Amino acid sequence: MMNIKKKIIVVGGGFAGLQIVRNLDEQMFDVLLIDRLNHHQFQPLFYQVATSQLEPSSISFPLRNVFKRKNNVQIRMAEVLNVQTDKNTIITSIGNFEYDYLIIAIGCKTNFFGNDSIAKNSLTLKTTYDAIMIRNHILKTFENIISANEEEKAALLNLVIVGAGPTGVELSGAFAEIKKYILPKDYPGIDFSTFNITLLEGSKNTLNSMSESARIASRKYLTLLGVNVRTETVVENYDGNILALTNGETIHTKTVIWAAGVTGNSIEGLPEVAHTFGNRLKVDRINRLEGTKNIFALGDIALMITPKYPKGHPQLANVAINQAKNLAKNLKSLLKNKETTEFEYKDLGSMATIGTNKAVVDLPFIQFKGYFAWVIWMFLHLMLILSVRNKLIIFINWAWAYISKDTSLRLILTPDKKD
């Protein structure tokens, strides 16, 4: 008698979604992957698209191409609106779909802490599109500076990044380098000594989640690059022109990039008991959603309490990838009525780059910084890129930029509003 395959719906094509689909047994499961986008995005290099160092296509991978050899995988571009847990059905923008198992890997979005004005007027870096928006905005800003009067120039010449985690630190360092090496060649009429890059952080340190060595080194590197680093500084509001701080100070700026935290994306219909702080979903040790039997959550959206991680795992790609691999094995075990394996995360460390030749790396057994750390950072990120072709393109881009201190990617790509 022929076994009927179980239907699995995976919501989200990020690191976790990609890995679970890749690792599910093709003989046992039919998979429907649903995402709002038609491509996987390599988030660690968004900042390089935003600063004109890489093209969006270098770090974006069409899902249909990724899974073109997987006969058990279907892909739909849609928004998931609701989960009907009692009917094992999801409601989407293109129709309803039934499942035997549902896997939620919807990741996180920018957290504005309830401030609608900041949300409306600042730039974010959570998608490839966001990165293109930042690139366009920065380049248009310098086009505008050329013809602006002195009063207008003051706000245009201030770039403020809020949040000194890896995203904020890497953006600040990259902008400082293009300010020094690239933009003066494109805009010889602008005095770039008056262009200010300010990094604001509410806590005491940059890279607060990393080691003391990384915190000290990252701040030192940023300061050497000319970034004005201000810690223990909290933003109160931003109206598109004036950034107000809680200490009463104001900064006139037309550019604020908000990288000050994340909160989980959400889907209606999931059990209330599963929702926890940061809008994350509480899961057990095999990533099963609390209050359910056949719904699972992976990656940034999942909160798993373990003895080693009593506050949940760090929201890193490596956690998402390994949770997905473990769940793929466990789903197979569940179908065969075998014992499942609890997820245990082995911390492989964290890293951040702060411009050319400067990076910090925290490994479980050693911390180091500088040129060697930068080389390690580049190598590991190249290895994580999906296709050989894209690895080669990115390597050539990095090599050329290293030799020439230039790229040729400074295109302003916006819709033509003419009828």
Predicted pLDDT of residue 401: 82
Residues 250-265 pLDDT 10s: 999 999 999 998 999 9
Mean pLDDT, residues 171-193 taken together: 91
Note whether 361 and 351 are within 8 A (CB).
Answer: yes
Q: Which residue from 4, 78, 14 is spatially nearest to 319, judged by alpha carbons? A: 14
Residue 1 clears pLDDT 50, i.e. is over it: no
Name residue 368's beta-bridge partners. Answer: 361
Find out whether 37 and 11 touch, Cβ atoms under 8 Å.
Answer: no
CB atoms within 10 A of CB 308: 9
pLDDT at 400: 81
The region of weakest confidence among 29-43, 157-171, 384-398 is 384-398
Q: Do domains 6-110+262-335 and 116-260 have the same CATH topology?
A: yes
- Domain borders along the chain are 6-110+262-335, 116-260
Q: Is the pLDDT of residue 40 over 50?
A: yes
State the Cα angle at 103 between 98 and 106, rounded to 5°.
Answer: 115
Please state, in angstroms and as integers, the Cα–Cα distance from residue 316 to each residue in 190, 191, 224, following that order.
39, 39, 28
Find the distance separating the first CA and the last CA of the chain, reported in whole Å.
63
What's the mean pLDDT when you consider all of the chain?
93
The token duo for 278 is 């940061």
Q: Cα separation of 251 and 241, whole Å?
A: 8
pLDDT, tens digit, 9 for 90 and up, residues 357-383: 999 999 888 899 999 999 999 999 999
> Residue 3 — very low, low, confident or very high, per pLDDT cuts 50/70/90?
low
Residue in the structure block whose two tokens are 């690239």: 182
Q: What is the pLDDT of residues 46-79, one digit of tens each?
A: 999 999 889 999 999 999 999 999 999 999 999 9
- For residue 383, the tally of other CB atoms under 10 A from its CB is 8
As a whole number, mean pLDDT of residues 89-117 equals: 96
H-helix or E-strand spanning residue 184: helix 183-186
Measure the CA–CA gap between 254 and 135, rounded to whole angstroms. 14
pLDDT digits (tens, 9 = 90+) for 209-266: 899 999 999 999 999 999 999 999 999 999 999 999 999 999 999 999 999 989 999 9
β-bridge mates for residue 275, sequence order? 281
Topology of domain 6-110+262-335 in CATH is FAD/NAD(P)-binding domain (3.50.50)
Reported as a pLDDT band with limits 50, 70 and 90, residue 409 is low
pLDDT tens-digit readout, 335-349: 999 999 999 998 888
Q: What is the pLDDT of residue 408?
A: 63
Q: In Å, what is the CA distance from 348 to each residue of 192, 361, 362?
A: 40, 11, 9
CATH architecture of 116-260: 3-Layer(bba) Sandwich (3.50)
